[in-house]
Chains A and B, each alone.
Chain A
């Protein structure tokens, strides 16, 4: 029987990979969501349709399938090697959640009251200025709580990278469990607790944003 501390120390070895995948996925998926959300709000039909296609493909299939696809299929098919599997994991998670989150970007932009656009036209702002100074600042406030929820989803999704061999928290848990079968309950409870501790700041962020988001916004 291993002690709780012994197991925790083993799991701790995986926290670096989990955090790397988490942080890079958050950055990349946020960028993708903003770009795709703005494209889908644009009046340029080609850009709009093309982004729509990307969003539907990635929302329509499953993240775990995409992850395997990026990790096994992509290198073979196009001879693209992402260098390390970390990038396959980050890319799959970011493209998947970028697609989901682009919908909240689009939805929030659409939810800003039309009077706001009219007032900025009356003040002679350009399309870009309207977006930059009036619409986006309000849309961002509106999307923050849901954004927080997606950050928690992304954290949960990082556990999938253990399936493509990345040595994250769950990976070390699985390894330990395979040699100490009877410790399985403690191992997985600890793994869950580790994830929950990582989730706590994200939960707090989401709660805070729920109160912030209602201020300073003219909703349609």
Chain B
């Protein structure tokens, strides 16, 4: 098996079709993770210690075990669970599996954003006699959100690179198409290289963009700025 430019150019349009599924799946998974991330935050605020402890360890469990296995669990095992089990199509299973996995990371990002607001800000807001919702929306969130934006962007890119896991449960995206082509013609080099190139083309500029955002917010929110203000 040697490198063939002919095959290379032949597979580009085939893989390209899968790119939209990859991008689409990334976006849907991410939105799911972003929303579900708040779930962990709320569980953390239940005024019942054992519940906090339980959910903390569930999140830790999900975070420290392979997303691939979680995907298999949702796709293969969930339908077998008595009573509550349902069969999911590959796409929904991927959204659920990767979404829940990454929600445990995003909740940490939210938490760090909230914790980054100094205690003095809460005290000042209380001193000004603001209501709870005013405290959150006028004082805390406007300061907590901007520094998390680069981190949130980073997780979007990380997730994009984890999405090909979905090909293992049959989501027909880039990697799946490449493996199909490989199996059919016994040519793996070119399609896999094309997939890698597509990933690079999409993720590298995004990473540069995030870096820019990061520098911008670091300038605005650097430590000096915070202590002086």
Using a CB–CB cutoff of 8 Å, the interface residues on chain A facing chain B are 56-57, 59-66, 68-69, 72-73, 76-77, 152, 155-160, 162-163, 170, 173-174, 177, 181-185, 187-189, 191-192, 195-196, 199, 202-203
Do A203 and B60 have beta carbons less than 8 Å apart?
yes
**Is B143 interfacial (CB 8 A cutoff)?**
no
25 contacts between A and B (CB under 8 A): A57-B200, A60-B207, A61-B161, A61-B199, A62-B160, A64-B167, A65-B199, A69-B193, A72-B189, A73-B193, A158-B66, A159-B69, A162-B68, A184-B73, A185-B73, A185-B77, A188-B69, A188-B73, A188-B76, A188-B77, A192-B61, A192-B69, A195-B64, A195-B65, A199-B65
**Is B70 interfacial (CB 8 A cutoff)?**
yes
Q: How far is the CB of B58 from chain A (nearest CB, A)?
A: 11
Q: How far is the CA of A177 from the CA of B77 in the complex (A)?
A: 9
Do A77 and B66 have beta carbons less than 8 Å apart?
no
Do B69 and A76 have beta carbons less than 8 Å apart?
no
Q: How many residues of B contact A (CB 8 A)?
A: 44
Q: How far is the CB of A45 from chain B (nearest CB, A)?
A: 20
Q: How far is the CA of A157 from the CA of B162 in the complex (A)?
A: 10
5 other contacts beyond A68-B175, A76-B2, A192-B65, with CB at 8 A cut-off?
A62-B199, A155-B64, A160-B66, A184-B76, A188-B72
Q: Which A residue sits closest to B61, measured CB to CB? A: A196
Contact with A along B183-208 (1 / 0, CB 8 A): 00000110011011001100110010
Q: Chain B residues with Cβ under 8 A from A68's Cβ?
A: 175, 178-179, 188, 192
Q: How far is the CA of A68 from the CA of B178 in the complex (A)?
A: 10
Do B196 and A69 have beta carbons less than 8 Å apart?
yes
Q: Chain B residues with Cβ under 8 A from A184's Cβ?
A: 73, 76-77, 80
Q: Chain A residues with Cβ under 8 A from B78's Cβ?
A: 185
Do A77 and B161 have beta carbons less than 8 Å apart?
no
Question: If the complex has contacts A72-B182, A77-B189, A196-B64, are A60 and B73 also in contact, measured as CB distance less than 8 A?
Answer: no
Do A163 and B168 have beta carbons less than 8 Å apart?
yes
Q: How far is the CA of A69 from the CA of B196 in the complex (A)?
A: 9
Q: Chain B residues with Cβ under 8 A from A183's Cβ?
A: 80
Q: Chain A residues with Cβ under 8 A from B1's Cβ?
A: 76-77
